[in-house]
Homo-oligomer: A and B are copies of this chain.
Amino acid sequence: VPPGGDPPVGRVGDAGELALLARIARRVGPSAGGAVVLGIGDDTAALAPTPGTLTLVTADALVEGVHFRRSTSSAADVGWKAMAINCSDIASMGGAPTAAIVSLMLPAALEVAWVDGLYAGLTAAAGAFGLAIVGGNLAEAPVVVVDVTVLGEVPPDRLRRRSGAAPGDLVAVTGTLGRAAAGLLALEAGTRGVAGDAPYAAPDGTAARAIESQRRPQPRLRAGRTLGALAGVHAMIDLSDGLALDVWRVCEASGVGVRIDAARLPIDEAVPVVAGRHGRDPLDVALAGGEDYELLFTVAPAAAAHVLARLKAEAAITATVVGEIVTAASGRVVRVAGQDRPLEARGWTHFHLEEER
């Protein structure tokens, strides 16, 4: 019998909704306490917001066969990631996550043990990111869908938006770019049995770390709160779909242009290693690969050195200046080897794969 206290009971359709709900409530544990007035077990959850703060709310879903495969990601990885990608959105506003609602769609033939694993990942992530799972919903569907809504809080003066970038601002990103995209390339290659199976069957350290980043993203919560508190930080977004598309969103919201310098991009060490094996251009993987879950922000030049130092001191993260905001009329460009190229709004989007992953 596992730590949760109850053994797996076959398939979801054998357990039924009521037993499954009770099982989930036992695994999540009592969520009332602190700001949570009512957790799992009533028609709604009830939370006491911190006086004077704004409530942030966002939702993001992982769909089987679209965002993950059960053959290459464990249930716990899926749970972790569903929580992490939502917390990344809270981080990008300068906020702190407080509570999550988990809406699950499950096939009746799914093993209950998979749901247990999913909740192991969800609760581990909730613990790591400091929020409570306060409710949810169960429904039947032909594929697994894990749709998580996360609430967060931020004092009004610390809220950062996509808008607010001004010509002259420097553009900076936390961490490195392209690691998760490199991990996905490695993961898919291993699955398909192509392009050098051996290194992926027993991955070298670089590929293994990249795969781990793809499966278990780490939202930049401390960095987001640090940036929200600092003067001169004008606009912020998390890098979920790739720098090219996400900085395009900042430009759209702010009514500005941008000039990215490819030579300054902090391309992750995994990108050249993995991309080369698949005949992919490392710059392209870094610009349009997606799933970095780093933060991109714009900062007034006079504040930049201070902001980067505070990020290092308070969030233990290195941020790198990769370009500057220009006027809308100056366009959106990326400078590569001394030449300006249009920065296309390419990246991971649904319904189209505008950039082949």
Interface residues of A (CB under 8 A from B): 12-13, 15-18, 20, 37-38, 41-49, 51, 54-61, 63, 65-67, 89-90, 92-93, 95, 99, 101, 103, 105-106, 108, 134-143, 145, 147, 149, 151-152, 154, 156, 159, 161-163, 237-238, 253, 345, 349-352, 354
Contacts and interface: CB of A to CB of B under 8 A. Distances in A.
Contacts of A354: 16
A152 B54 CA distance: 14
Given A145-B141, A351-B108, A49 B55 contact: yes
A256 to B, nearest CB: 16
B55 A46 contact: yes
Contacts of A46: 54-56, 93, 154, 159
A57 B99 contact: yes
Closest 7 CB pairs of A and B: A44-B58, A17-B349, A43-B89, A16-B352, A17-B350, A149-B149, A44-B56
A24 to B, nearest CB: 13
Contacts of A95: 44
B43 A93 contact: yes
Contacts of A138: 350
A142 B65 contact: yes
Given A16-B352, A43-B92, A140-B351, A58 B135 contact: yes
A107 to B, nearest CB: 9
A86 to B, nearest CB: 9
A314 to B, nearest CB: 21
B61 A103 contact: yes
B63 A237 contact: no
Contacts of A141: 63, 66, 143, 145
Nearest to A101: B59
Contacts of A65: 142
A48 B103 CA distance: 25
Given A13-B352, A45-B57, 17 more contacts: A16-B349, A38-B159, A42-B163, A43-B162, A43-B238, A44-B57, A45-B58, A46-B56, A48-B55, A49-B55, A57-B151, A61-B139, A138-B350, A139-B350, A140-B350, A141-B145, A149-B149
A142 B142 contact: yes
A60 B101 CA distance: 10
A351 B12 contact: yes
Nearest to A13: B351
A18 B45 CA distance: 32
Given A140-B63, A149-B149, A45 B41 contact: no
Nearest to A20: B351
Contact of A67 (B16, B139, B152): B139
Contacts of A142: 65, 142-143
